[in-house]
Chains A and B, each alone.
Chain A
Amino acid sequence: MLEEFLGRPKVAPLLAKDYVDVMIDTDRMTGGKEVMERLKGERSGGLPWMIVLDADGKELITSNLEEGGGNIGAPAQPNEIAHYMTMLRRTKQHLTDDELAVIEADLNEFAKPYQRPARK
């Protein structure tokens, strides 16, 4: 699901303005699990797990929520989408607010079929 969203025509060219996209397959790549354990440390969560690094490898933000620490995984629920957008807002260098709004709107549309109904 995440891969599909990142490849969408509205989204991919915008993300390419700021980020080098690297995917590590923890099942198929040698040492994939070890790299993830090293970067993730004690934080919770399964796959997908995301982290934004600067060019020196320093952690800028991860897919773990600041409140509660849970991993958003492939963002679908409103709080997960909000955190994903926080990851972009805090680490972007060239993306404009209008471009971020395009990404957010596209993610909201893409995630609709995966969202749980709101609790009453």
Chain B
Amino acid sequence: MIKVRPSPVVAVLCAGFAMAQDKPAPTPVTKSPQAAIAAAMAKAKAHNKCVLVVFEQQDNKLCAELAKTMKAHRDLSTLLRYEFDVATVDATAAADEAKARDFTAAKEVPALLVLSADDKVLGKFTAKDFVEGDALNTASLIAKLKELKSAPLDAEKVLAEGLSTAKKTNFRVFLRFDAPW
């Protein structure tokens, strides 16, 4: 099908919660930061979302807490599912990706970079922005990410654009209604 791509926008995330875990579970870190970011960007472009790049390091307790919170915290996980495509990268391996976006502080893990679907830097956060003491401040993280999320598209305009494309190409419109959940 011909994809009608909505214009890109940005997103949200975060919060605080202290989880005392003696030995944090290893966090999944991709071996290919460039590929992970590119894949997230392609998905974000198709859905009018933002990209959240999470810079991590294996065996870092806060990184493990953040990874766990991103999945388990209801508001944060919902915000991420609705508004962001997430790419988790190893901070050392992704040094070039960070440098290219003027985010050398990404080595202070966990660090977060919010990008538009066309690779514009929208926000940069290091641990000091969403950590209090030795615990995540999830509420603060969510607030910061919400400020960056994409503006919603107008469904009538999206449909009109699809019909206009169909008219020009003598195609049919295969219209799907769906939701992120």
Q: Residues of A with Cβ closer than 8 Å to B? A: 2-3, 6, 12, 15-16, 18-32, 34-36, 39-40, 47-57, 60, 91, 93
Contact = CB atoms under 8 A, between A and B. Distances in A.
B36 to A, nearest CB: 18
A27 to B, nearest CB: 4
Contacts of B175: 22-24, 39, 50-53
Contacts of B154: 29-31
B82 A28 contact: yes
Interface of B: 1-4, 47-48, 82-83, 152-156, 158-159, 161-163, 165-167, 169-181
Contacts, number: 138
B156 A21 contact: no
Sort A-B residue pairs by CB-CB distance and give the 4 closest, nearest first.
Answer: A21-B1, A22-B162, A19-B174, A55-B166
Contact of B153 (A29, A34, A49): A29
Dominant SS at the B interface?
A: mixed
A92 B93 CA distance: 47
Given A20-B1, A28-B153, A50-B175, 15 more contacts: A15-B174, A20-B4, A20-B171, A21-B3, A22-B4, A22-B176, A23-B178, A28-B82, A35-B177, A48-B178, A49-B176, A50-B176, A52-B173, A53-B172, A54-B166
B174 A22 contact: yes
A28 B48 contact: yes
Contacts of A53: 163, 166, 172-173, 175
B173 A35 contact: no
5 contacts: A24-B159, A29-B153, A47-B178, A48-B178, A51-B175
A2 B171 contact: no
A35 B161 CA distance: 14
Contacts of A35: 155-156, 159, 177
Contacts of A25: 47, 153, 178-180
